[in-house]
Structures are given as structure tokens and as C-alpha cells.
């Protein structure tokens, strides 16, 4: 793939933005209850990168956005913040290695999305700098400028920081993995805990999303007694945050 201008080394944005081209785009898979169940697979390639970006958003909205009726109004609800998905896709398209003949892979599950971009980090930036938004190195400068002018990105180098900010009031946070050849962003379903009290937060921190815990295992990790922890766990269950399993002495708790 001949993507680089010999004069300045920048990415061939004109080729990537052409209506038809030979470049790989995005491969999206929507899984069911496990990776053996594929509900939908669609690939967007050999088309303008702007079209790839827009079509990927359309698929996202099919699965992670819905409408509810409140009184006489319709309200859009996002299971995963669309702004976070936009940042992740734009980040992948702007910073990926275009001379690697590989798609950006988007794996969609009921409770999270994985976006994997080929190429790893641009030279001149460390993993810490990338994750903390301390600096920005534009691998594909011309393409980045197009996304900036169209309003798809705001300030270069702030994408990861913005994704983190969008999840500030969520119990489950996004995850970022950087390797030599890929960058992966995991966006979980948003779990709003902004309406929890300080005491409820303390109990929630003592729980796990993967391991069932008895109340005797939870109490030592809180500043409260057994009676208060039990009451707070019942409140968290009513708020849909905690799942209670079993009865009597065999009762155990897990984050829903």
C-alpha cells in the first residue's frame, strides 16, 4: 500500500478520503451471549474513511442507543456514551498504521465494546503520555486535520482523557491496552453511581463483579458493623447495583 507522500512523509489523506479506494476500514462483529454466537458481522472498507466513521456510528446506535417515552417526550438513552465511541473510532482512524493491511476490529458485546487498531503507538510518545494525554504525536497529520475541521475531534491528544471524563460517574471504567502492534480501547456499558451515598459507595468498593462474597467477607473492608452493611446491601439491591444470591447463612453478594 502506497500511503505516504515522499515529500513530507505524511499520510495520503486524499486517497483515504476518496469515495472508493483500496484501503482496509472497519470490521464489526456483534456477539450474542458468547463469542460462539455471532448476531451480525459487517465490514466497511474500500470507501472514504469519513464514510467508514459515519457507518460505524450507525451500527453503534442500533445496539447501544434506544428511546424511552417520558410523559409527552421521547428521550434518547445511551447504554455506552456515544461520545466515547466517537472518540475511540476517530482515535483509531487518525493514529493507526495505514501501511498495515488490517482492519480496525470492533467487537460488540452486550456489556462492552472492544476497539482494536493496528500499529501501536507513533514513535516519540510513551504509553504513559498516551494514556494521560500529556502530549500528541500525529502519525497521519493531514487526516487528523480533516477530522479536526469537520468537528470529529476537538483538541489533538485529548481523546483518551475525554473518554475517561465521560465515565467519571460510572462504576465500571474504560480500559486501555497498548502493545507493539495494536492499541485496544474497551468501553463498558455505563453504570451510573452518581446517585449513591458515601456509605453506599464504601460498601460497593468492598464488593466484586466476578466473585460472590458473604457479609462476613464484606464487613472487614468497610468502617461499618454487620447490621448497617446488611441494610446498605439491601438498598444497593433495590437500586439495581447489587445482586443477592442464596438465603440465610449462604447469602452472598455480587455487583450486578
One digit per residue, pLDDT tens: the chain, 256 residues? 344 443 333 457 788 888 998 889 999 999 998 889 999 999 999 999 999 999 999 999 999 998 888 777 888 889 999 999 999 999 888 888 888 889 999 999 999 999 999 988 777 778 887 777 666 677 777 888 888 888 887 766 678 889 999 998 888 889 999 888 899 999 999 987 778 899 998 999 899 888 999 999 999 999 999 999 999 999 999 887 899 999 888 999 998 8
What domain count does the chain have?
2
The pLDDT assigned to 163 comes to: 92
User: What global pTM score does this model have?
Assistant: 0.74
Same domain, 161 and 100: yes
Read out DSSP for 95-155?
A: HS-TTS--PEEEEE-SSEEEEEEET-SPTT--HHHHHHT-----SSHHHHHHHHHTTS-SS
Same domain, 145 and 217: no
Same domain, 174 and 243: no
The answer to whether residue 8 sits within a structural domain is: no
Distance of CA 83 to the CA centre of its chain: 10
Same domain, 65 and 109: yes
Look at residue 165 and give its three-state secondary structure. Answer: helix
Residue 220 belongs to domain spanning: 198-255
Q: What is the rounded CA–CA span in Å between residue 161 and residue 56?
A: 22
Measured at the alpha carbon of residue 18, what is the angle toward residues 15 and 22, in degrees to the nearest 5?
65
Same domain, 119 and 165: yes
Show contacts of 218-223: CB within 8 Å, 24+ apart. Answer: 218/253
Q: What is the rounded CA–CA span in Å between residue 64 and residue 57?
A: 10
Q: What is the rounded CA–CA span in Å between residue 140 and residue 3?
A: 10
Measured at the alpha carbon of residue 30, what is the angle toward residues 28 and 31, in degrees to the nearest 5?
135
Same domain, 239 and 116: no
Same domain, 184 and 213: no
Same domain, 25 and 150: yes
Question: Residue 63's CB: how many other CB atoms inside 10 A?
Answer: 17
The answer to whether residue 6 sits within a structural domain is: no
For residue 239, the domain's CATH number is 1.10.10.10
The pLDDT assigned to 1 comes to: 38
Of 131, 162, 188, the position where a domain reaches its end is 188
Amino acid at each position: 500500500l502506497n500511503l505516504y507522500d515522499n515529500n513530507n512523509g505524511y499520510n495520503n489523506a486524499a486517497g483515504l478520503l476518496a469515495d472508493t479506494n483500496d484501503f482496509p476500514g472497519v470490521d464489526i462483529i456483534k456477539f450474542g451471549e458468547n463469542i460462539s454466537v455471532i448476531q451480525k458481522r459487517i465490514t466497511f472498507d474500500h470507501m472514504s474513511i469519513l464514510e467508514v466513521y459515519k457507518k460505524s456510528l450507525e451500527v453503534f446506535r442500533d445496539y447501544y442507543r434506544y428511546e424511552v417515552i417520558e410523559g409527552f417526550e421521547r428521550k434518547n438513552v445511551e447504554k455506552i456514551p456515544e461520545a466515547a465511541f466517537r472518540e475511540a473510532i476517530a482515535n483509531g482512524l487518525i493514529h493507526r498504521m495505514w501501511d498495515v493491511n488490517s482492519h480496525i476490529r470492533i467487537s460488540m458485546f452486550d456489556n462492552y465494546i472492544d476497539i482494536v487498531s493496528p500499529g501501536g503507538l507513533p514513535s516519540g510518545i510513551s504509553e504513559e503520555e498516551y494514556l494521560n494525554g500529556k502530549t500528541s504525536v500525529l502519525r497521519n497529520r493531514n487526516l487528523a486535520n480533516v477530522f479536526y475541521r469537520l468537528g470529529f475531534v476537538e483538541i489533538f491528544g485529548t481523546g483518551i482523557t475525554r473518554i475517561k471524563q465521560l465515565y467519571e460517574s460510572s462504576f465500571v471504567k474504560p480500559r486501555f491496552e497498548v502493545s507493539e502492534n495494536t492499541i485496544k480501547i474497551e468501553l463498558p456499558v455505563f453504570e451510573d453511581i452518581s446517585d449513591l451515598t458515601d456509605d453506599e459507595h464504601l460498601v460497593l468498593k468492598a464488593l466484586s463483579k466476578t466473585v460472590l462474597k458473604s457479609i462476613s467477607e464484606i464487613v472487614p473492608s468497610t468502617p461499618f458493623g454487620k447490621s448497617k452493611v446488611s441494610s446498605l446491601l439491601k438498598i444497593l439491591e433495590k437500586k439495581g447495583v447489587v445482586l443477592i444470591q442464596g438465603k440465610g447463612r449462604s447469602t452472598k453478594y455480587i455487583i450486578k
